[in-house]
Amino acid sequence: MINREMDNLETIDKEKELVNRLVDGDKEAFGELYDIYAPKIFRFIRLKVGSQVLAEDLSSESFLRIWEYFQKEEREIEESFQALLYRIAHNLIADYYKRKSSQEILINDDFNVFVEGQIAPSDVSLKDDTEEIHRALVGMKEEYQNVILWYYVDELPVPEIAKLMDKSEGAIRVLIHRALESLKKILAKKEE
């Protein structure tokens, strides 16, 4: 847990430095931010929309919009670059589903593909558990899906998630707890 907090502090410091350079017009800083966050944003979008091509398009659009945001003379930066980027991606996903006349945003079957990269190939039981967790996540509310993905898969700190969801840190901790309780209940029902 301490290593995770140290990594988060280093990432936050690096992000602040890059954002300051970006605000000063440094295009290379944007490239570095892209390199840091593109895989996470793509994974988040891909899990939500179920299409490689669509996820690439929405990821590109997310970065284009944040680039345009930073090009404005008048801008308020109330949240981190990462939080703003996730907010843009989330809004693009919501817009996509609104256009599709579907209000339900589900985690796609590619969940296993993205998680397997973090699991040793010899750990077969963990892969089975991952498949069960995926099936359980699909049955959860979108809000619960998001906090679990952001906190446990993308390892976003609670303050970042709070900014993303426009909630207090305490509310996010409660939401994470409720999401885990919901996940446990779903998994327990499947075992019966």
Domain boundary among 75, 105, 135: 105
Give the range of the structural domain holding residue 146, as residue numbers without chain letter. 111-192
My answer on whether 117 and 142 are in the same domain is yes
Report how far apart, in Å, the C-alpha atoms of 105 and of each of 54, 91, 155, 162, 187 are: 14, 12, 21, 20, 20
Q: What is the pLDDT of residue 51?
A: 79
On the 0-12 / 13-18 / 19+ scale of CB atoms within 10 A, 152 is middle
Instruction: Please identify which residue in the block is written with the tokens 């973090």.
Output: 118
Domain boundary among 53, 87, 105: 105
3-state helix, strand, coil in the chain (%, to 5): 75, 0, 25
Model pTM score: 0.66
* CATH number, residue 83: 1.10.1740.10
My answer on whether 84 and 173 are in the same domain is no
Domain boundary among 74, 105, 136: 105
What is the residue-averaged pLDDT of the chain? 78
CB 59 within 8 A of CB 89: yes
Binned at pLDDT 50, 70 and 90, residue 111 comes out as: low
Most confident of 5-9, 57-61, 162-166: 57-61
My answer on whether 176 and 92 are in the same domain is no
Question: Structurally, how many domains does the chain consist of?
Answer: 2
Q: 3-state DSSP call for residue 178?
A: helix
